[in-house]
A and B are shown apart, each in its own frame.
Chain A
Amino acid sequence: MLTREEKARQLLHAMTEIEDRYIAEAAPENTERSAASEGAVETATLVQMKHADVEKTKMDAQKEAEAPAKADMPDEDRHSEPKVLYMKPQKRWKPMGIIAAAAVLVIGFGAYMKTEKASNSMAPVAFVTGGSDMARAIDGEDEKAATGADQDATGAAAMERSSRMEAGVDPGVAAAEGDPEMAAEAAPYADQGMKEVDGSARMKSAVTETGAAPEAASSDAQERMQIANPWSEFDSLEEAEADADVEIALPESYQRFDHRIYRAMRREMLEVIYQDADGQEGFRIRKSHDVGDISGDYTSYAQEKTLTSGGRSVTIRGNGDTISVATWSNHSLNLSYAVCVAEDQHFTEDDIRSLVEAIDPDL
């Protein structure tokens, strides 16, 4: 008795002999070219052929004379000449591989340095939020700050001075501000001026000069960092619902959009994207436990109005008679919904109304 896997293997083997036209139409692109031109893939045959050419030049006329006779040989004899085809490929130097490896190393080192730089520039921010004296201690510009907790008040001023100097504050300006100490300290930095653009200096300047210490610094830091995609795709609605911790009623299809993609932001939001058979997006539906506008669409539309549908107040936005976004909330259940229509789709008020009723039938 065959096991399930053995049957699957039989099926896989049976697939081999399917009609040529099906295989041809699905063939991957860019595969019908010379393997030799890739450099990385040098087949034994080509190597052998090169050898054969070289040998041919060394051969005497007798060998040449024998060649035509091959055509008259019986099949078995001809096939019993594997030497023509079997030669181990020579190990060849592969410069492309070396270049690729070098490129990876350089890019990797660059990325590492960038990350290192970003983390260096972020470190003081972290300490500033915990205590300005620590930031100064890290800078090494005010050693007393590391030990003097009683200097909190003056510490911030010292840090401001140092950061402004690093950012290229003119000593003249410092003097004009009535701070001779700062002017004296700033003098060595004057010629550097704005050329000093180290990330840490700018960040600290932002921290101290704007007064919006943690927020400004963290937003600056965020700009330097990649934000991970919070969405995960799932094969089934149940999986997405479980991940988002939100359940939703959905229309099986709407108009020609019958293909659904399920996405979830862990424990935050559920999103279902409706596409047509060609993969063209029609609209997406969102649901979340947060109350508010969860559409994520911040476009300024010409029209915004409230639609009353089955006890709900649905805010719809769009241009002309095309509705682009619809949002509504169920405050008693702490739920929000959004329907976001794809840019190239034309959804009317009635379309939106029927969608809303299909999605949120409870109210």
Chain B
Amino acid sequence: MNDQDILDLYFARSESAISATNEKYGKYCHTVAMNILYSHEDSEECVNDTWLRAWGAIPPKRPAMLRTFLGKITRNLALNRWEHAHADKRGKGETAAALDELAECVADTRAGQPDQLPEQLALTECINRFLEHQKPENRKLFVRRYWYLSEIKEIAGDYGFTESKVKMTLSRMRAQLMAELEKEGISC
């Protein structure tokens, strides 16, 4: 069943829209959640919450790309759940590691620079611009690490690189992102 058929089911308010979505994107969304939460049970709940959100959002929305639409919902839900669970302590998994790495891009507050990051929208736009100027290969590595929160080892395996190369590429890209954020007056 293609995405349009599935969306038609949502618009017809047919319950089979959920099972069709789960059939096609259940594993994908579970992977997204699992990379963040490291728990099958929590990830399952997250995926179920995703279906609920999707059911509530479609209609009126008709996403152009159903997979990423669902992935974004799952990622947000999983991140919120992870933050709630780790409000006062750092958990295991790639989320904590990715946060440590991204902290490099937002150095400690310096004199004359804002102590708040701007609206999320501006940040996202800046990241989009940054990604647009990257080589596709590097961009994939970056998104796999910081959007999908995949392990370095897994990324290296999937793309046929050494772990060292992946780490080095990501490190360079973080430095570039920091420069980009600074250039736009965003980085603190």
Give the B-binding residues of A (Cβ under 8 A).
1-2, 4-5, 7-20, 22-36, 38, 40-41, 43-46, 49, 52, 70-71, 78-79, 82, 84-86, 89, 233, 235, 259, 261-262, 275, 279
Contacts and interface: CB of A to CB of B under 8 A. Distances in A.
Contacts of A4: 103, 106-108
Contacts of A30: 27
Contacts of A34: 22-24, 26-27
Contact of B120 (A14, A35, A89): A14
Nearest to B32: A31
B79 interface: yes
Contacts of B109: 1
B164 A261 contact: yes
A26 B120 contact: no
Given A14-B120, A20-B64, A34-B23, A86 B52 contact: yes
Interface string B71-83: 1100110010001
B61 to A, nearest CB: 12
Contacts of A23: 68, 71-72, 143, 147
A11 B102 contact: yes
20 contacts: A1-B115, A2-B116, A4-B108, A8-B106, A11-B123, A17-B124, A25-B140, A26-B143, A27-B67, A28-B154, A32-B28, A35-B27, A46-B22, A49-B19, A85-B48, A85-B52, A86-B48, A233-B162, A235-B168, A259-B165
A20 B147 CA distance: 11
Given A5-B103, A23-B68, A43-B26, A17 B146 contact: no
A27 to B, nearest CB: 7
B112 interface: no
B111 interface: no
Given A16-B75, A30-B27, A36-B26, 7 more contacts: A23-B72, A26-B139, A27-B71, A27-B148, A31-B31, A32-B24, A46-B22
A279 B28 contact: no
A223 B57 CA distance: 63
B115 A41 contact: no
Interface in B50-108: 51-52, 55-56, 64-65, 67-69, 71-72, 75-76, 79, 83, 95, 98-100, 102-103, 105-108
A26 B71 CA distance: 12
A71 B48 contact: no
A34 B30 CA distance: 11
A35 B139 contact: no
A279 B127 contact: no
